[in-house]
Amino acid sequence: MPLCNFDQYPSFALVNACVVTCDGEGDSPRDRLGIIAPGVVLVQGEKVGCVGKVSDFSFDGSIQTIDVQGRLVTPGLVDPHTHLVFAGSRMDEFQAKMRGVDYRKIGQEGGGIMRTVRATRGSDEIALLKRLESRLARMLRRGVTLVEVKSGYGLNIGEEMRLLRLGKSVSEKVLDGNEVGVKQLPRTTTTLLGAHAIPQEYAGNREEYVNLVLKMVDLVSGHENGMRLAEACDVYIESHAFSVGEAKRILESAKKRGLLVRAHVGQFEDIGGAEMVAEMGGISCDHLEHVSDKALGAMAAAGTRAVLLPGAWRTLRQQAPDAQRMQRMGVEVAVGTDANPGTSPCFDLLVALGLAVRDAGLDPEAALLAITREAAEACGAQQAGRIRAGWRADLAIWDEVDPLVFGYALGGLEPRAVIIAGKWVLEHDGDWSLIFQ
Ligand code: NIG
Ligand code: FE
């Protein structure tokens, strides 16, 4: 029996749930998880009507109630950092890396990011869209309802715009049933990453390429058919990519034009990018394998999130950053997949989370916050990452009863059902059996 037969946007209530709102106040992770058990989530149309204790509700039969038997109901998960629009694989580079070849050397010899740029430029629209949809469908099956999607494998105006348009077009898309059980894809929020690498055409003329990125910023911050192609602008700040000065020019222009600003910083060395992004009021600094106390202090003061990307430190065999140090200094931590064919062939946010707990020392109890509310803040997503009355009803129902499970399991968790904007978009039949009992 399917859990729910609703096709459109009716009202219904999930009752007897362990509701993990991720919307609590307080210093301890438990408080911030905001657990209400046994709880109710009332969904009205596309939104959460109210959330509360079972004892505060009485139902008169006018509304469908679904007894979830103590299971966890969480916000839909949020992946705050992906490079999902790409063609081709770099499996052979992975093999070389495992044999000890340096990632940056592979890039200098024509592989790396530029190899994916060539494959992506050569791939037609339909093929790119199919790949993107299939990756997003996999993410939905892990309970992810919102995904940040970067450009960055186009590196000229036409190609970068094409990738952003694809990233936007999948949002709201209802699938034709090709992906078993998935009726709709996660929503997306898009980020311009024109400053991902200097393309060969501009080798020897960096400034001209930076000027081209400034043109991209102009274009995406204008409106096309009433909408912006990107909500945010990202720069890869590293000595083999863009300098702090170059990034500052790009991000200042983006900020002036109303885009949110963020950056890849400290993946290989700390060249001062994090302070600059924090001082500009950036929403996130991502990677941070190398970061100074001063930069963390600036991030804490500005409310800039740290986005940990375990898939990348695992592929590059790096020492993980120290999440506890970040949190002690007042920096909120989010976790993303960094899904890309080079440094992070990972499409499973829950595996990334498990690695962040183990390798970076992220508190297992706080782990869920890193892929819900903090992830939403890190990518500037509105009405996402928390269960709150009046917000969009993006929810996941799990065959689990303790939120600690998200930091404990290393993958393998799948939601029983996923709801996006009040609509039942994925559901599994079968026994309600727990993995851990
Ligand atoms: O987040 N660091 C830069 N960008 C990606 C890697 C992209 C690639 O190698 O294709 C990252 O790790
Ligand atoms: Fe990345």
Q: Could you read off the pLDDT of 99-125 as tens digits, one per residue?
A: 999 999 999 999 999 999 999 999 999
CA 136 to chain centre: 11
Q: Which atom of ligand 1 is nearest to the CA of 238?
A: 2
Beta bridge partners of residue 36, listed in sequence order: 19
- Cβ of 343 closer than 6 Å to ligand 1, yes or no, is yes
Tell me the one-letter amino acid at 264.
H
pLDDT at 60: 81
Report the nearest-CA residue for atom 6 of ligand 1: 343
Query: Is 112 a pocket residue for ligand 1 (Cβ < 6 Å)?
Result: yes
267 lines ligand 1 (CB under 6 A): yes
Distances (CA, A) of 323 to 71, 83, 415: 29, 23, 27
pLDDT band at 3 (very low <50, low <70, confident <90, very high): very low
What distance in Å separates the CA atoms of residue 237 and residue 287, rounded to the nearest whole number? 11
> Whole-angstrom Cα distance, residue 396 to residue 427?
10
Q: Which is more confident, 268 or 183?
A: 268
Could you give all domains of the chain from N- to C-terminal order, each with its CATH number? 11-76+386-427 (2.30.40.10), 77-378 (3.20.20.140)
- Give 436 Cα–ligand 1 centroid separation in angstroms: 35
> Ligand 2 centre from 284 Cα, in Å?
12
pLDDT computed for residue 5 by the predictor: 47
pTM: 0.96
Confidence class for position 393, pLDDT limits 50, 70, 90: very high
Q: Please tell me if the CB atom of residue 145 comes closer than 6 angstroms to any atom of ligand 1.
A: no
% of the chain residues with pLDDT over 70:
95
**What pLDDT does residue 260 have?**
98
Q: Which ligand is nearest to the CA of 152?
A: 1
Residue with CA at minimum distance from ligand 1 atom 9:
342
Neighbouring CB atoms inside 10 A of 344's CB total: 23
pLDDT at 8: 52
Give the whole-angstrom CA distance, residue 392 versus residue 199.
40
Question: Which residue's CA is minimally distant from atom 3 of ligand 1?
Answer: 236
How high is the mean pLDDT of the chain? 94
Q: Ligand 1: which of 79, 82, 83, 150 to mutate, most ligand atoms within 8 Å of CB? A: 83
pLDDT tens figures, 344-364: 999 999 999 999 999 999 999
Whether residue 404 has pLDDT greater than 50: yes
pLDDT tens-place string over residues 300-321: 999 999 999 999 999 999 999 9
Rounded (5°) CA angle 253-254-259 = 155
Distance 302 CA to ligand 1 centre (A): 25
Ligand minimally distant from the alpha carbon of residue 155: 1
Atom of ligand 1 nearest to the CA of 286: 1
CA of 83 to the centre of ligand 2 (A): 6
First to last CA, the chain: 24
Residue pair 410/351 in contact by the 8 Å Cβ criterion: yes
**Which atom of ligand 1 lies at the shortest distance from residue 338's CA?**
1
Does residue 173 have a pLDDT over 80?
A: no
**Cβ-proximal residues to 360 (8 Å cutoff; 6+ apart), any chain:** 308, 310, 320, 321, 322, 323
Pocket probe mutation, ligand 1, options 264, 265, 286, 337, max atoms within 8 Å of Cβ = 264
**Euclidean distance between CA atoms 142 and 335, whole angstroms:** 15
pLDDT bin (cut points 50, 70, 90) of residue 132 is: very high
Q: Is 312 in the pocket of ligand 1 (CB under 6 A)?
A: yes
Residue to mutate (ligand 1; options 236, 269, 271; most atoms within 8 A of CB) = 236
Minimum-distance ligand to the CA of 318? Answer: 1
Q: Which of 307, 308, 304 is nearest to 280 (CA)?
A: 304
Which two three-digit tokens encode residue 421? 């904007």
Q: What is the pLDDT of residue 2?
A: 41
- Ligand 1 atom closest to the Cα of residue 107 is 9
The alpha carbon of 337 is separated from its chain's Cα centroid by a whole number of angstroms, namely 7
